[in-house]
Amino acid sequence: MERVDLGEVAYDDAMRRMAGWVAERRSGAAPDRLFLLTHPKVITYGHTTPISDLPSALSDIPAVEADRGGHATYHGPGQLIGYLVLDLHERGPGDIVRQLENSLVAALGSLGFAAERRDTPKGSPSLVGVWTPDGRKIVSIGMRIRGGVTSHGFALNIDPDLSVFDTFVACSLADVTMTSLSRLAAEQGRPLPGEAEIRDAIALSLQKPSPPEQP
């Protein structure tokens, strides 16, 4: 998988670029790629998101419908966004979302942060993402698969303004508590790793063969 580091990219611009990235992968003009970037403040949501989950019309943060799975989430400064454009025909069997969760858990573990994935009980809202052992969410995941090629990906909270998550219902989980690596580092009494170190750990873990699926 090829790693592509980008800076801050407006969400609408990133979506236009992503359409091209997917077309390149589908045609064989580009390999599997991981795009690492950040977005200015924006709340995105999937087409099944209840209107009641979204912020009020008075919010100064735009809300944009996204062509991905999942519900409402926030993107902004202090987050690391990872978009994966992969041809699943060449990757063999397996649940790509679970593989992504396990790779992110391994990456955070290499940085000294305990994390886990969670199974979703039947009939409950989706618990896809990465969580702390005490039940706080640190990574949101929303992907799209069309024609065997993935798009979209994950948002890791490094040091964002977590108060934004109080203005809407994140991931359609009314009782979810979002956290960040900055908050976890403070709780551990140690410095927050630099963004370059975090990007390297994430990319290295995703570029390795998929870790064994955890129960």
Q: How far is CA 7 from the centre of its chain?
A: 16
The verdict on whether 183 is a catalytic residue reads no
Query: Which region, left, alpha or beta, applies to residue 46 given φ > 0 means left and ψ of -120 to 50 means alpha?
Result: beta
Catalytic option among 171, 178, 185, 206: 171
| Calpha distance 180→160 (Å, rounded) | 7
Structure-block tokens of residue 188: 């551990």
86: nearest Cα among 180, 167, 196, 207? 207
Backbone angles phi, psi at 96, to 5 degrees: -65, -35
The SS3 call for residue 173 is coil
The SS3 call for residue 108 is helix
- Whether 74 and 64 have beta carbons less than 8 Å apart is answered as no
Structure-block tokens of residue 211: 């870790």
CA distance readout (Å), 126 to 176, 196, 203: 12, 31, 25
Active site residues: 171
